[in-house]
């Protein structure tokens, strides 16, 4: 299990926590928790999703210790958002320069970083993310949209600074 | 080219290819401790979960208990000494004013004494 999912979980936690040491500890805690509670896993096919959920909760716990503000969403974000993945924005992210996607995701505020990571890196759907994070679907959509907008803004700023 | 989402995941994986998990031994030693030292470390690092409501109830109970003990030892609402001293005495009405009978008699006695002098 650790061989199969260790790198995947560590990459997820590195994206979320930005700190290699903290990410490594979060993954260790994830596996320990998984071993201790393995009986709670009903469907073996959902192992990856279950481990991801534990890892994300671990990251949240670590985040909470230093900043509550980044955990709680802005209430104004829960507006209706119909569009999930505008093609233009995906294309923009797709044209990201080599080596800078990770850095840019890590620069996002935690609430956006979380959904962007789960959506693009862990390849979860909006419903799955809502379930994993215990959030409303519209909240997830709104955070995704804002996260993408912020990423787009970063690309533009980087383009401007490069002349 | 695959779909955008997959490409992005692939790209991130490429960027993070040096990120490898090397903590398996630590996990095993904490999950299945063999030596006494590992057992102690495992016990020390054991996580316990306590519900926030339980913490709330316990904190509230301790607070109430501490306040109760404090008030019991040093009551704020002490009875007024003058009232307790004067309890059991009678009131007199003299010239439209009300006096405690014993105080009134003491004052009259003092005035009589001063007149005799």
Q: Which domains does chain A have, with CATH numbers?
A: 2-64 (1.10.1740), 75-161 (1.10.10.10)
- Residues B40-61 have pLDDT tens digits of 777 777 777 777 888 888 999 9
Determine the residue of chain A that is closest to B48 in CA distance. A33
* Residues of chain A contacting residue B4, judged by C-beta atoms under 8 Å apart: 85, 87, 90-91, 93-94
Nearest to A143 by CA among A77, A85, A87, A90: A77
Q: Which of B15, B26, B31 sits opposite A101 (nearest CB)?
A: B15
- Nearest CA to CA, how far is B34 from chain A (Å)? 15
Determine the residue of chain A that is closest to B24 in CA distance. A2
3-state secondary structure of A92: helix
Q: How far apart are CA A49 and CA A124, in angstroms?
A: 9
38-77 in chain B: CB under 8 A from chain A: 47
- Residues A87-119 have pLDDT tens digits of 655 666 656 666 678 888 999 999 999 999 999
Give the C-alpha distances (Å, rounded to integers) separating A39 from A12, A47, A54, B49: 24, 12, 14, 18
- Nearest CA to CA, how far is B51 from chain A (Å)? 15
DSSP state of B79: P
pLDDT, greater one: B33 or B62: B62
ipTM of the complex: 0.73
């Amino acid at each position: 299990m650790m061989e199969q999912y260790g790198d995947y979980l560590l990459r997820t936690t590195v994206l979320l926590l930005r700190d290699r040491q903290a990410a490594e500890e979060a993954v260790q805690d994830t596996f320990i928790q998984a071993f201790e509670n393995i009986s709670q896993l009903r469907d073996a096919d959902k192992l990856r999703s279950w481990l991801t959920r534990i890892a994300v909760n671990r990251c949240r716990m670590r985040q909470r210790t230093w900043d509550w503000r980044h955990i709680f969403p802005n209430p104004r974000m829960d507006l209706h958002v119909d569009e999930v993945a505008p093609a233009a924005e995906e294309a923009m992210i797709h044209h990201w320069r080599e080596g800078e996607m990770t850095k840019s995701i890590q620069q996002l505020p935690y609430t956006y970083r979380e959904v962007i990571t789960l959506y693009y890196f862990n390849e979860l759907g909006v419903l799955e993310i809502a379930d994993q994070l215990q959030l409303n679907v519209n909240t997830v959509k709104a955070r995704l949209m804002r996260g993408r907008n912020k990423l787009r803004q970063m690309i533009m700023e980087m383009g401007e600074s490069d002349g | 080219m695959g779909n955008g989402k997959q490409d992005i995941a692939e790209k991130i994986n490429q960027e993070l290819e040096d990120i490898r998990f090397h903590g398996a031994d630590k996990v095993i030693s904490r999950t299945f401790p063999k030596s006494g030292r590992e057992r102690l470390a495992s016990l020390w690092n054991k996580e316990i979960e306590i519900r926030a409501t339980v913490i709330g109830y316990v904190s509230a109970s301790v607070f109430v208990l501490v306040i109760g003990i404090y008030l019991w030892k040093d009551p704020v609402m002490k009875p007024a000494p003058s009232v307790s001293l004067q309890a059991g005495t009678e009131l007199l009405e003299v010239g439209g004013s009300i006096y405690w009978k014993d105080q009134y008699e003491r004052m009259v006695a003092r005035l009589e004494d001063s007149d005799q002098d």
